[in-house]
Amino acid sequence: MSVPVGPPWLMILGYVVALLVLQSALSRLLSPLGVPPPDLFLLTGIALARRTLPVSALLGAYALGLAQDILGAGALGLHAAALAGGTLLVLLTRRAAGSRAGQGLLSVLAAVLGQWLTFMFLTYWLRTGLVTAESLVHILPLSLLTTLIAAPLWNWFADYALGRVPDGLE
Amino acid sequence: MREWQRLGLVFAALLVLSMVMTRTQLVAPVALLSATAPLTQLGVVTGDNLRRAVTGFLEQRHLSGEVSALTRANEDLRQKNELLSLEVRRLHQVTQITATQAPNAVATAQVIAVNPSPLLARLTLNKGSADGLQPRMPVTVPAGLVGQITQVGAHQAVVVSLVDPESSVGVTLAGGKGGRGLATGAPPDRLKVEFTSGVNVQPGDVVVTSSLGGVYPVGIRVGQVEKVLLLGPNDLTRTVIVRPTVDVGSVTDVTVLGRL
């Protein structure tokens, strides 16, 4: 199942389509319940960090964040920076921790932490109420939880669509 | 330059870029959003459908329980309605009886048992002395006379009906035709009435109670003459067979009148 069954461009296209459709569907499904959906864009940032060179992963994550900004019709750069921040922390954590057990869990924790730290920095920079104490108490834990739950499945799908992580990079 | 330093510099550059873009509130052209709209719409529709499916499933379970509860409530109400209808029918019966037969109704009662003998015609009522019933009280229905109470317990009473061989009722002909007679039970379902020989009685004549005997109020319908027996040369009375107005076998609710 982990071996891609089509040309790489087609698999990547399929991955992007699945990302967009699933992220929308999960948002629509969970938002009425007051539960933030798993951040599949962030998980994609982690997948990039596992598969490409650090700088490429960082740039790729930023581009992905820009796409998220465009999809959300918000100010450009907000999610881009946050996704890049999350990916940067994942890269640094992986470098420090090596290939130990619990790497997946650690990566998600680092990504969410990096993402929210960047959000907080931009909140301070923009002097807006983007991140509030309320959102830190109610949204962050749930967002972390749903993203943690979705991570194994999404990694499995990323392995299938983007191919397994090269040994040298892992 | 070490790799992590390079990484830091790239991130710093990207962060500065984002700071500038967010500060200037740079927004992507709508055309870019439109390009991906079908995909996001597909996700939204999928999410909506899934949510509706789950909600529908849960609501269906809830509705199923509600239907069961309402069915039970409906059944209860139906039973209550049945009881109330019965009560109304009884009260209507009492009203009719007090208006047409006698104003002194004591109680309404239900027939809870009938005598199994093919010769006797006796009924047991579900009320007794505790409800004010006494021996010799007349028992009627709006259609006519049923009989009289002969035995009374605390919560039950026995009625000897008109067609019982031990029953005797003073009667006369309705419609001012006069005549005075005594109706006795002629099992299984008829009455035999002895009139004086001078009375002009014909089949079809209506027989009602008279004051004879002092048990029944006057004028309660007893039955209709079915047959007039031939008068023998030595007969002093004219015997007629009367079909009672009330079918004792099918009476369920009766009204007990006060003693005269």
pLDDT given for residue B209 in this prediction: 92
Tell if the CB–CB gap between A85 and B25 is shorter than 8 Å.
no
Contacts for A43 with CB less than 8 Å, ≥ 6 apart: A108, A111, A147, A150, A151, A154, A155, A158
For B14-48, the pLDDT digits (tens) are 999 999 998 888 777 777 777 777 877 788 888 88
Does A84 contact B15 at a Cβ distance shorter than 8 Å?
yes
Question: Cβ of B33 and A71 within 8 Å?
Answer: yes
What's the pLDDT tens digit per position in A14-43? Answer: 888 898 888 888 888 887 788 889 999 999
Cβ atoms B258, B94 nearer than 8 A: no
Digit-coded pLDDT (tens) for A60-89: 999 999 988 887 777 788 899 999 999 999
* Whole-number percent of chain B with pLDDT over 90: 32
Residue A35 belongs to domain spanning: 8-162
B4 vs A contacts (CB less than 8 Å) = 92, 95
Q: Say what the pLDDT of residue B1 is.
A: 62
From A93's Cα to the closest Cα of chain B, the distance in A is: 11
Length of chain A in terms of residues written: 170
Q: How many domains does chain A have?
A: 1
Q: How far apart are the C-alpha atoms of A104 and A32, rounded to whole Å?
A: 29
Mean pLDDT (chain A, rounded): 85
Residue A3 lies in a domain: no
CB–CB contact A77 B21 (8 Å): yes
Per the structure block, which two tokens stand in for B121?
């015609």
Instruction: Pick the range with the lowest mean pLDDT from A117-126, B100-109, B135-144, B214-223.
Output: B100-109
What pLDDT sits at residue A106? Answer: 87
**What's the pLDDT score for residue A168?**
54
Number of CB pairs < 8 Å for A and B?
114
Q: What is the pLDDT of residue A138?
A: 85
The candidate with the shortest Cα–Cα distance to B207, out of B248, B241, B231, is B241
End-to-end alpha carbon distance in chain A: 20
Chain-chain contact of A77 with B28 (C-beta, under 8 angstroms): no
Q: What is the mean pLDDT of residues A39-58?
A: 90
Beta bridge partners of residue B168, listed in sequence order: B184
Burial class (CB in 10 A: 0-12, 13-18, 19+), A134: exposed
pLDDT at A100 over 70: no
Contact criterion met (CB below 8 Å) for A40 and A79: no
Alpha helices, DSSP H, located in chain B: 3-23, 30-100
pTM for the model stands at 0.55
* Selected residues 69-98 of chain A with any CB under 8 Å from a CB in chain B: 69-71, 73-78, 80-81, 84-85, 88, 91-92, 95
Element (DSSP H or E) covering residue B179 = strand B178-186
A112: closest CA of chain B, how far (Å): 16
CB B138 within 8 A of CB B215: yes
- pLDDT category at A102 given cuts 50, 70, 90 is low
Q: Are B187 and B203 in contact (CB under 8 A)?
A: no
Mean pLDDT to the nearest integer, B235-246: 89
Q: Is residue A139 part of a domain?
A: yes
Structure tokens at B165: 């061989």
| Residue A48 token pair | 């990039």
pLDDT tens readout for residues B131-183:
999 999 999 998 899 999 998 988 889 999 988 888 889 999 988 788 888 99
Q: How close does chain A come to B67, measured CA to CA in Å?
A: 27
Coil, strand or helix: which one is B180? strand
A125 touches chain B (CB under 8 A): yes
Determine whether the interchain pair A25/B44 forms a contact, defined as Cβ–Cβ distance below 8 Å. yes
pLDDT at position B72: 95
Contact residues of B toward A, CB < 8 A: 3-4, 6-8, 10-11, 14-15, 17-23, 25-28, 30, 32-33, 36, 39-44, 46-48, 50-51
Q: What are phi and psi of A9, to 5 degrees?
A: -65, -35
Decide if pLDDT at A170 tops 60: no
Cα separation, A4 vs A77, whole angstroms: 32
What is the reported pLDDT for B225?
Answer: 93
- Token readout for B56 is 């529908």
Indicate whether A27 belongs to any domain: yes
Closest CA to B255 of B100, B113, B81, B114: B100
Dihedral of alpha carbons B247, B251, B255, B258, sign? positive
pLDDT in tens, A140-161: 999 999 999 999 999 889 888 8
Domain assignment present for A170: no
> How far is the C-alpha of A6 from the C-alpha of B122, rounded, in Å?
97
Q: Do A24 and B42 touch (CB under 8 A)?
A: yes
Q: Does A169 touch chain B (CB under 8 A)?
A: no
Of A26, A58, A76, the CB nearest to B7: A58
In this structure, is residue A2 part of a structural domain?
no
The contacts of residue B259 (CB under 8 Å, 6+ apart) are: B134, B136, B137, B215
